[in-house]
Amino acid sequence: MEENNDNIQFQISDELIEKVEHLIDSRKDEDILEFLIEFHYADVAEILEELNVEQATYVIKLLDSEKTSDILVELDDDTREKILQNLSAKEIAEEIEELDTDDAADMISELPDERQEAVISQIIDEEHKAEIEELLAYDENTAGGLMAKELVSVNENWTVTQCVKEMRAQAENVTRVHSIYVVDDNEKLLGRLSLKDLLVANPRAHITSVYIPKVDSVHVNEEAEDVARIMQKYDLEAIPVVDDNYKLLGRITIDDIVDVIKEEAEKDYQLAAGITQGVEADDSIIELTRARLPWLFLGLIGGVGAALIMGDFEHMLKDYAVLFFFTPLIAAMAGNVGVQSSAIIVQGLANDDVRGSVNNRLIKEMLLAALNGIILATFLFLFVWIYKNDIYTALAISVSLVIVIIVAGLIGTFVPLFLDKRGIDPAIATGPFITTSNDIFGILIYFWIAKLILHI
């Protein structure tokens, strides 16, 4: 317990990094080992992130593979890639030997194809090698790509005594036992075994009379996001993976699902910010430009479109210049309402909370937008009326605001639903796409309504 408290309180500091750098530069290997031995592997990974590649590689080669394998898993992808480039195929294989199959497959998949073959050929444990190669065959965004082969399974025909003996042997290769799965002679998943029921059962009883025949599972080709939803819905720490014949292939644990949720959240956040591919702050200027430029170009087109629309109503602006001053307000409200509506829908789709008729959803959003619009427009009406002492101008601007908000809310609701139905990530709808489209529609509606009310 005391060690856990130390880990929780761990904080990186300049003094700590300077000390590690000094020890490395001085080649004081024993002092490095003695200093780092007390740190959790996740803390060591955080320290290595602050070092240069040569220094980080030196530490990795110095420490025992049993610890460095876990450290490598915790490192940022880019940092790990650079360190692995400085390790030989044999050295990487030694790290792989210490990892669970899912982490091992993930690490190998990051290597170039030729490098992958070289590393795999250096793995001594043939069973471990075969299991890693099996996992590499699956798409990384499926249950097969997430699962680990390490698990504890028992045969339905075993006695309780035999079961305990076999479980002890299997558990040696399993880092954490979340569940005990029951299979038949063909490895078909039948159910799960409660540890409590096992402990109180007659030692000569067969597992058939003890196990629970109900167990949640996912197909090996299930999408990673769907697996995350299932585990979240049923509060599962682990879930078994099966094939078409319900044969038990592996299991997915909660730590892998947390990574999936984190990656999906990062991707959605970048899409919402108008970045079209996964990038990091340390990426090159070319990569960052390539990721950002498409949406910036869309915004440029939207701005040009808005300018052209305003150009068509130039004669109105000469007689009612006040309309020009409220154009940014209308455009901003349209964009804000659209983003709010789309964000709620995208979040609901991600959590599988959006159900029922699309029409009902649109009607609800229209009523919500109308209520918000009327409240905001009332304040705007009073302000413009007092400011310009012109009730018709105040009416034109406030009515336009209500209609713009309603339309923006409908667009923000419909677009992500439409994209989701077409198999396109709806997170796109929370970014510049929805903002730009609502800006254009908002300005068009604004001047059109003003033209009708002011009889220009």
Which pLDDT tens digit goes with each residue over 4-29?
A: 444 456 788 889 999 999 999 999 99
Instruction: Quote the pLDDT of residue 47.
Output: 93
Token code pair at residue 114: 């030729």
Residues 246 and 291 in one domain: no
CATH number at residue 316: 1.10.357.20
Instruction: Quote the pLDDT of residue 201.
Output: 87
User: How far apart (Å, rounded) are the C-alpha atoms in residues 241 and 250?
Assistant: 5
Q: Of 146, 166, 186, at which residue does a domain stop? A: 146
pTM (predicted TM-score): 0.67
Asked whether residue 357 carries a pLDDT value surpassing 50, the answer given is yes
Residues 15 and 140 in one domain: yes
Q: Of 99, 128, 146, at which residue does a domain stop? A: 146
Q: Of 125, 146, 167, at which residue does a domain stop? A: 146
Residues 78 and 217 in one domain: no
User: How far apart (Å, rounded) are the C-alpha atoms in residues 110 and 294?
Assistant: 27
Q: Report pLDDT digits (tens) over 260-303.
A: 887 777 676 666 655 565 656 666 677 767 767 776 777 788 77
CATH number at residue 26: 1.25.60.10
Find the domain containing 415 and state its range. 285-454
User: How far apart (Å, rounded) are the C-alpha atoms in residues 414 and 433?
Assistant: 13
CB atoms within 10 A of CB 11: 7
With tokens 């002011």, the residue in question is 454
The structural domain count of the chain equals: 3
Instruction: Quote the pLDDT of residue 239.
Output: 94
* Alpha helical stretches, state H, 178-253: 195-200, 224-233
Nearest Cα to Cα of residue 224 among 146, 110, 122: 146
Asked whether residue 2 carries a pLDDT value surpassing 50, the answer given is no
* Alpha helical stretches, state H, 326-390: 327-350, 358-388
Residues 91 and 216 in one domain: no
Q: What average pLDDT does the structure give for the chain? A: 85
Asked whether residue 186 carries a pLDDT value surpassing 90, the answer given is yes
Residues 305 and 322 in one domain: yes
**318: in domain:** yes
Alpha carbon 80 to chain centroid distance? 20
* Comparison of pLDDT for 374 and 316, the residue scoring more: 374
* Comparison of pLDDT for 270 and 435, the residue scoring more: 435
